[in-house]
Structure 1
């Protein structure tokens, strides 16, 4: 399962595997807690074997302890891989969220001048700028368009995509 999730992450086809990784990691932690005490206590027993323990049995027990230690080390390494995968998934989600927020910010910045001008034109007060000039509307449109283009270019340069 971990290899499959890792392959999906590397190929950017990751579905919702965060909960699956979390469940696997919890099982690994439980297994480590259960198995971690065994090798140490058995090694202490083998340093001072009881008289009823034959040498052949002690050797078999040593081999079993070494094998269980290897299994525990493999479980620890797998837990670390899962932790790294979870961190990578979280980083990808944060990056995606950041991109979405940036896009929303750019849209807001680009729409702001238009909303401000619409607000000015919607007011019922005398002395609206350029209201007496026959080209006033087009001057204002050009001013808003220029400001919008400058703000958009600045925003995309700030991001580094332009």
Structure 2
């Protein structure tokens, strides 16, 4: 079959099929069309076939032409996205999560926001089949495909699976670094920024850290199951690489726990700052009420519509009352300053 292979690694030229590659065992690979893929046999070489998960052509190939057990085909096409690994005969059914980013050709028209998206996979000794939803772009798979194009990619199936897992975890680091930088920024904004904006950003950041951990913890367990699987195509170097990936993932989970704890502390600090601002405002209002109390009492007394009010016929009475109120207000102000209310 190999004499019919295309010389370049075509990407997304056929509906549902992102790419299909045959590894040459030297770090390179050659591309297959969908028609050639349907004719592929294990003896033709190790293959890596990447599809759009929710495309009708993918459903047709997985269900009827991929040679999968019906339960495996159903699991590959299911919407279940929680990371897990299930041994089936001589292969592994794998669901992992990877960083989704905007494709380079669309980067100018989209925000650089990233997210974790599911990657469904089946791997045995002769092929790796991966599926991801259309509209998502997993940079880890692109990097491996480019490495194969340059002749610097994996040489056998265990190395390919280990590299995919490694790069899926590797791409989490910039996401966590960005979250950590946002925590530092919010730490500075608490005492000088808008409290409402800071509270909203803290809430979103904490929710994001919880969501990431929700997927990364089972992903660590899934990768650990792959490391301890006794499949003959998983060589010792591959298992060592899986161990390094698991250690890195554990550090990232601890990193997420630290971010979550820091956001909790910042939320408490923000509540304290808001409480202090409210207390200062209340003190000012209380001080203003205290300053206005003497004039209010005097005005209330002399404003009563009853007989016997002194100074009714005295031309100096108003001046005396104003002087008394002024002196009383000044004395009240001095007392408030002395007790640190102002």
Partners of 2:220 and 2:248 in 1: CA distance: 9
> Please, what TM-score do these two structures have when normalized by structure 2?
0.41
Shift of 1:108: 1.0
Give the aligned partner of residue 29 of structure 1: 210
1:156 aligned residue = 337
2:327 to 146, 150, 155: 146
Aligned partners of 1:159, 1:37: CA distance in 2, in Å?
Answer: 56
Partner of 2:302: 121
Match of 2:89 in 1: none
For the pair shown, the structure with the greater C-alpha radius of gyration is: 2
Structure 2, unpaired ranges of 5+: 1-181
Distance 2:316 2:229 in 1: 106
Moved more, 138-147 or 86-95: 138-147
* Local SS of the residue matching 2:190: helix
> Quick one: which of 254, 257, 272 aligns to 1:76?
257
Q: Deviations over 1:64-123 (max 9, x none)?
A: 110001111111111222222222222222222211111111111111211121111211
In terms of fraction of residues, the more helix-rich structure is 1
- Could you tell me how far apart the structure 1 residues matched to 2:274 and 2:246 are? 42
Matched ranges for 1:53-68 at <5 A: 53-68=234-249
Runs of at least 5 residues in structure 1 that lack an aligned partner in the other structure: none
> How many residues of Structure 1 are paired with residues of Structure 2 in the alignment?
157
Partner-residue secondary structure (3-state), 2:230 = coil
1:101 and 2:282 correspond: yes
Which range moves more in the overlay, 147-156 or 126-135? 126-135
Q: Report the aligned-residue RMSD.
A: 2.6
Deviates more, 1:36-45 or 1:89-98: 36-45
Q: Is the 8 A contact 2:283 2:341 kept in 1?
A: no
Contact 2:190/2:198 (CA < 8 Å) preserved in 1? Answer: no
- Distance in 2 between residues matched to 1:40 and 1:157, nearest whole Å: 64
Deviation of 1:63 after TM superposition, in Å, equals: 0.7
> For residues 36 and 159 of structure 1, do their structure 2 counterparts lie closer, same or farther at Cα, with a shift above 3 Å needed?
farther
1: CA distance, partners of 2:281 / 2:341:
15
Other-structure match for 2:188: 7
